[in-house]
Amino acid sequence: MKLGFLVDLNLCMGCKGCEIACKVENEVPLSTWRLRVKYIDLGTFPDTRRSFTPLRCNHCESAPCERICPVSALHYLENGIVNIDSDRCIGCAGCMMACPYGAIYMDPETNTADKCTYCAHRIESGMMPACVVACPVEANIFGDLEDDHSNISLYIMEHKGAVQVRKPEKHTSPTHFYVGGGNQTLNPLAHQRIEGYNLFNNITHLDHVGDKNHGILDRFLAPFVGHEKPDNTSFMNSAAATESHEEEGGH
Amino acid sequence: MVESTIHATQAIVTLDVPIQGIVWGSIITVNMWAKSIGTGVVFLAAFLWFRHSKDDMPNLRWIMPIIAFLALNVFLFFTLIDLHQPYRMIHIFTHPHWTSSITVGAWLASTFLGLVSVLMVIGVADAFPSLGGKKCKVTAAARNNSAVYEKIMPFMVFLAIPVTTYTAIIMAQASARELWQAPTEVMQMMWAALMAGSAALIFVSGSWSKEARKDLALVLTIAVFFSFMMYMSEYFFSFKSSEAEAILEFVHSGGAYNVEFWFGMTVGFIIPFFLGMSYMKSENMTLLRFAALAALVGLFFVKDVWLKIPQMLPLS
């Protein structure tokens, strides 16, 4: 069995239902994402359109994160999922540096690396990933790539010429596919990030990796004295102390 | 206005989370910088003993392992504090994953530090016969096994090569960062070790023969020259990868990293090159010490920039 994902970008309407479902299902902390939907504006006024691209771990068959992990915290399951064992993770961030898709984050609550696991715990119980269930237009197609009759295999065969992966030049062999994507949506160098053209221009950038309230000394002391768990209030407080970017010219 | 300034073929991100920022920061820079000193002094000691008699460098036998020991401990300490779960460092030894350069490097560096410690104990015990008195078993054992030093040393030189370069392989395994390529990073690490090793030994070479000091100056000069050339080639001519080009374009356009890079290049490479050349004519020790200090300072800044800039590029 080799599980895979396919997103039909022609169907995706950017509702972010998958993003929210993922957050809730996996209790993903504030300021981090296992799955997120990126909005890109294309064209010149008045001929413009907005494209939505859900981004998650690609569960590569040749995963750089699995290769660089010094303690096998990132490992393959028999169904092809690249899983992560947060009890073993040492927090070296090697995987974050290796992943070409920026899909791995440092969990601010556990101070270990984390990422999308295709909801491995749900699959083990015979359920579909939370994002698949939540999608109102069935743009997320999930299944066994080795089964010729699975939904995903049939979809790939039907859209043969239009199936794409992100950054094929990296030779990671992703098991996450897109239909209806283009260079502008899948190649990060083909679009610009311009200050002031964000949908929400008052965005707070948290300038930390992992738990901001868990400094170097705290990392050593935490097993003995513990440390205050970050909650919404602590993030709101840190947001208030962080520079925000407010520009004219937005939407 | 948007419609007149944005080309039709250009797409603009209108909603996405910010990039993660600098994940490997200055702690890792210190790690690499200290390791360059720790292994570099081993290379230089071997080179000098090959070229000169031991009497030309009377203190080298004991001071080299002390410098290496201190530098390697700084390197390992900074490796440890960079971990978000430092106590789990032990997992590298209890659950090693051998495809990872981090694992291989940790094992090699730990072995290397162990051997450097042996050299240090023997070197110091031999150099200071009264140390520890007659009752100290450690110094007595060290003096009784003094010949082990010379037997270990050739093995140390060979071990120092992968210990120096494994960080380059980690950077190569970090396949998200196109700027770090294995062949160039491996050579940069080797040149950095020769730079840092020769610079560190210059400070303790006061009692050495002129010929030995000239060799140190020569190695420093050659190392900064070739390292400088490699950085320049990468900085200006990384055309073959669009990601590397995009990263460097960000630095070319100015800003803090541009200033830091050129400050490091000037202080750490250009100035030491000319001072090293001058020393070979003038034999002015002050100039040479200044060149060594400048090389160590500049190397840190350049490594810091090279480590951080690829992390500024959005991956999605």
Q: Please give the pLDDT value at position A31.
A: 79
Which residues in A lie closer than 8 A to residue B14 (C-beta atoms)? 39-41, 50, 197-199, 251
Q: Is the pLDDT of residue A249 over 50?
A: no
Kindly state the average pLDDT of the residues B162-182.
93
- Cβ–Cβ contacts within 10 Å for residue B302, how many? 25
Place of tokens 């994902």: A5
Asked whether the beta carbons of residue B14 and residue A197 sit closer than 8 angstroms, the reply is: yes
> Average pLDDT over chain A, rounded to whole?
86
pLDDT in tens, A152-195: 999 999 998 899 999 999 999 999 999 998 888 898 888 888 87
Distance, in angstroms, between A132 CA and closest chain B CA?
21
Q: Is the pLDDT of residue B192 over 90?
A: yes
Q: What is the CATH number of domain B22-311?
A: 1.20.1630.10
**Cα–Cα distance, A105 to A111 (Å, whole number):** 10
φ/ψ (deg, to 5) at B108 = -65, -45
**Cα–Cα distance, A149 to A92 (Å, whole number):** 41
pLDDT in tens, B116-152: 999 999 999 999 988 888 788 999 999 999 999 999 9
Distance, in angstroms, between A54 CA and closest chain B CA?
10
Q: Is the pLDDT of residue A233 over 70?
A: no
pLDDT in tens, A217-228: 777 877 777 666
Please give, one letter per residue, the 3-state secondary structure of A171-201: CCCCCEEEECCCHHHHCHHHEECCCCCCCCC
Window A:131-150, CB contacts with B under 8 Å: none
Q: Please give the pLDDT value at position A244.
A: 46
pLDDT in tens, A51-94: 999 999 999 999 999 999 999 999 999 999 999 999 999 999 99
3-state helix, strand, coil in chain A (%, to 5): 30, 20, 50
Q: Please give the pLDDT value at position A36.
A: 92
pTM: 0.90
Confidence class for position A251, pLDDT limits 50, 70, 90: very low
Confidence class for position A230, pLDDT limits 50, 70, 90: low
Asked whether the beta carbons of residue B97 and residue A71 sit closer than 8 angstroms, the reply is: yes
**Cα–Cα distance, B252 to A48 (Å, whole number):** 32
Residue B161 makes CB contacts below 8 A (sequence gap 6+) with B190
pLDDT in tens, B234-244: 999 888 788 88
Q: Is the pLDDT of residue B17 over 90?
A: no
CB pairs under 8 A between A and B: 188
Q: Please give the pLDDT value at position B97.
A: 97
Q: Please give the pLDDT value at position A102.
A: 93
Domain boundaries, chain B: 22-311
DSSP classification of residue A111: -
Kindly state the average pLDDT of the residues B216-222.
97
User: Is A193 an interface residue toward B (CB < 8 Å)?
Assistant: yes
DSSP classification of residue B270: I
Confidence class for position A110, pLDDT limits 50, 70, 90: confident
Kindly state the average pLDDT of the residues B28-48.
98
Confidence class for position A248, pLDDT limits 50, 70, 90: very low
**Cα–Cα distance, A31 to A29 (Å, whole number):** 6
Percent of chain A with pLDDT over 70: 84
Dump strand ranges (E) for A67-148.
Answer: 74-76, 82-84, 105-106, 113-114, 140-144
**Cα–Cα distance, B149 to A66 (Å, whole number):** 40
Q: Please give the pLDDT value at position A64.
A: 97
Kindly state the average pLDDT of the residues B254-263.
94
3-class secondary-structure state, position A44: strand
Complete domains list, chain A, with CATH? 3-190 (3.30.70.20), 203-245 (no CATH)
Residue A26's alpha-carbon distances to A35, A120, B87, B250, in angstroms, are 11, 11, 26, 36
Q: What angle do CA A61, A63, A68 make, to 5 degrees?
A: 150
Q: What angle do CA B61, B76, B111 make, to 5 degrees?
A: 60
Residue B294 makes CB contacts below 8 A (sequence gap 6+) with B267, B268, B271, B272, B275
Dump strand ranges (E) for A45-129.
Answer: 47-55, 74-76, 82-84, 105-106, 113-114
Q: Please give the pLDDT value at position A81.
A: 97
**Is the preceding peptide bond at B129 cis, omega within 30 degrees of 0?**
no
In chain B, the N- to C-terminal Cα span, in Å, equals 26
DSSP classification of residue A127: P
User: Is A160 an interface residue toward B (CB < 8 Å)?
Assistant: no
Residue B275 CA, chain-centre distance (Å), reads 21
Window B:51-90, CB contacts with A under 8 Å: 81-89
Q: Is the pLDDT of residue A213 over 80?
A: no
Q: What angle do CA B183, B189, B190 make, to 5 degrees?
A: 90
Kindly state the average pLDDT of the residues B46-61.
96
Which residues in A lie closer than 8 A to residue B15 (C-beta atoms)? 37-39, 198-200
* Least confident window among B9-13, B28-32, B155-159: B9-13
User: Is A101 an interface residue toward B (CB < 8 Å)?
Assistant: yes
**Cα–Cα distance, A221 to B86 (Å, whole number):** 10
